[in-house]
């Protein structure tokens, strides 16, 4: 799978770890920055991830920041992106099963790296249920 990833300075450490985790699992990773912990304006690095997903340049996207809230908000402003802010395995599973989340937002200051990696794996492995949820997704994507 081709996965776009981006973070601000507050999510940089986790972005680096998650990127390597994805590469080790055989995924192709499109890293859209940032490249250090130097302070940056997060939309500059988050919106390109969402745009890559919306344009089909990546099948999925992962965005990271301090809390993940602002990152999810920026990503969700791009038409066709359904970004789920996740903080545990259940939110990751439901984000995929019920909402067909094609983008994942994580907060480095809110969860451990072990939890972040577990969330990523569940989010990658969980299929969308479709059915009654598909009608809602179609309404969102209009």
Residues marked active site are found at 71, 98
27 vs 70: CA distance, rounded Å = 26
**3-state percent breakdown (helix, strand, coil) of the chain, nearest 5:** 45, 15, 35
CA 25-62-135 angle, to 5 degrees, is 105
Given a contact cutoff of 8 angstroms between Cβ atoms, the answer to whether 95 and 106 are in contact is: no
- The burial class, CB within 10 Å (0-12 / 13-18 / 19+), for 83 is buried
């Amino acid at each position: 799978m081709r996965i776009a990833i981006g973070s601000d300075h507050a999510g940089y450490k986790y972005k680096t770890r998650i990127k390597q985790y994805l590469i080790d699992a055989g995924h192709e990773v499109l890293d859209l920055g940032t490249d250090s912990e130097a302070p940056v304006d997060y939309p500059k690095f988050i919106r390109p991830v969402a745009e890559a997903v919306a344009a089909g340049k990546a099948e999925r996207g992962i965005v990271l920041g301090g809390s993940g809230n602002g990152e999810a908000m920026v990503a969700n402003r791009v038409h066709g992106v359904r970004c789920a802010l996740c903080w545990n395995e259940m939110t990751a599973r439901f984000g995929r099963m019920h909402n067909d989340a094609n983008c994942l937002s994580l907060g480095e200051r809110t969860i451990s790296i072990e939890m972040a990696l577990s969330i990523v794996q569940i989010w990658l492995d969980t299929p969308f249920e479709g059915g009654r949820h598909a009608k809602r997704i179609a309404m969102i994507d209009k």
